[in-house]
Amino acid sequence: MIVDRATYRDGHRTEGPADLSDALAAARATPGAYVWLGLYEPTQEELDLVSEEFGLHPLAVEDAVNAHQRPKLEEYRDSLFMVLKTVGYHPDGHSVSTGEVMLFVGDSYVITIRHGADSPLRGLRAELEKQPELLAHGPSAVLYAVADLVVDSYLDAQTSLQADLDELEAEVFAPGRPRANVAERIYEFKRQLLAFRRASAPLQEPLSRLSKGTSNYPPEPLRPYLRDVADHLSKVNEMIDGLDRLLSDILNANLAQVSVQQNDDMRKISAWAGLAAVPTMIAGIYGMNFVDMPELRQPWGYPAAVVLMVLVCVVLHRVFKRSGWL
């Protein structure tokens, strides 16, 4: 599905031919002009038509149709193909969702292809049209703007993840017994961070290549901007690594709390079992009812046995209390 199509000349949107082939031919014949075509989840037939008009590489077209690609940058003889993974965080469900943005960049055209609902490109064209000095740098300006927007969305998602993780950390270290479902939530957070890292970490190398000028794109004036985007991405990746380490520490702390609580419970059970063992032992001895037991014929025998049980239990209770077992 074509979302939008326009011809830009010297950074300004202009009226171009309605036919895609004519628009591309006119852009190639006009210095400083190029066509920006925006697509959303195109079918194989739709992308085949676009590929025929723009002369896209068949391997890149196959990747663009199938989606679910790893972030990457591929250069062909007369074009560049780049894949970026978008990330959206949903605090209500504590879940991370991903989408994809793919770009074909050529001499007089740029094609953006979106997959998935979590796409930060809505409104990007309108914002860029307010900056003709940026659009005047050609198709690579769109590449920079898309990469910058995607990385900024990473920062927003990372901030939301950090806030939820702070709440989880406070819950783990709150006074009282550790909750049984905290470990499950921690593992779920680690799964979300893994999905996040799969989107952001592989993008570092393509952005570095673009910013260092190892590619035919972008032009020299745009490379400092891409270096800035690469720096922001490095910050995101460092934060994600820090969150993952913090989650591991929280998990270890929770497991240690559970272990300590279990040890406390076992000590209390052992202490009460020890208190119950003494009267059981005395009652068992006197329950044998041997004739030659002298206490059986004494009027003070029964009260003495009861007093002995109580006295021993009181002494044991005080000993266990002082040692922290009760």
Residue 274 burial (CB count, 10 A): 15
CATH code (residue 297): 1.20.58
Which residue range forms the structural domain that includes residue 13? 2-257
| DSSP secondary structure code for residue 137 in this structure | T
Residues 114 and 132 placed together within one structural domain of the fold: yes
Identify the pLDDT of residue 180. 57
CA 56 to each of CA 2, 82, 209, 299: distance values in angstroms, whole numbers, following the listed order: 17, 13, 21, 109
How far apart (Å, rounded) are the C-alpha atoms in residues 102 and 83?
5
Q: Report the CATH number that the domain containing residue 98 is assigned in CATH.
A: 3.30.460.20
The reply to whether 111 and 89 lie within a common domain is: yes
Q: Which of 213, 240, 257 is the last residue of a domain?
A: 257
Q: Classify strands 12-14 and 95-105 as parallel, antiparallel or unpaired.
A: unpaired
205 lies in the same domain as 291 = no
What is the side-by-side order of every strand in the sheet holding 95-105? 12-14, 2-9, 33-40, 109-115, 95-105, 80-90, 72-75
Place of tokens 């014949």: 29
221 and 296 in a single domain? The answer is: no
- Is the same domain home to 123 and 246? yes
Each residue's pLDDT, cut to its tens digit, for the chain (326 residues) gives 777 888 999 989 887 788 888 888 988 888 889 999 988 888 888 888 888 888 888 888 888 888 788 899 998 888 899 999 988 888 776 788 888 899 999 889 999 998 876 666 778 888 888 999 998 888 999 999 999 999 998 988 888 888 888 888 887 777 766 565 677 788 888 888 888 999 899 999 999 888 887 667 788 888 888 999 999 999 999 999 988 888 888 888 777 777 777 777 777 777 777 777 777 777 776 666 666 666 666 676 667 777 777 787 787 777 767 777 66
**Predicted pLDDT at 99:** 86
Residues 170 and 202 in one domain: yes
Q: Which pLDDT does position 35 carry in this prediction?
A: 92
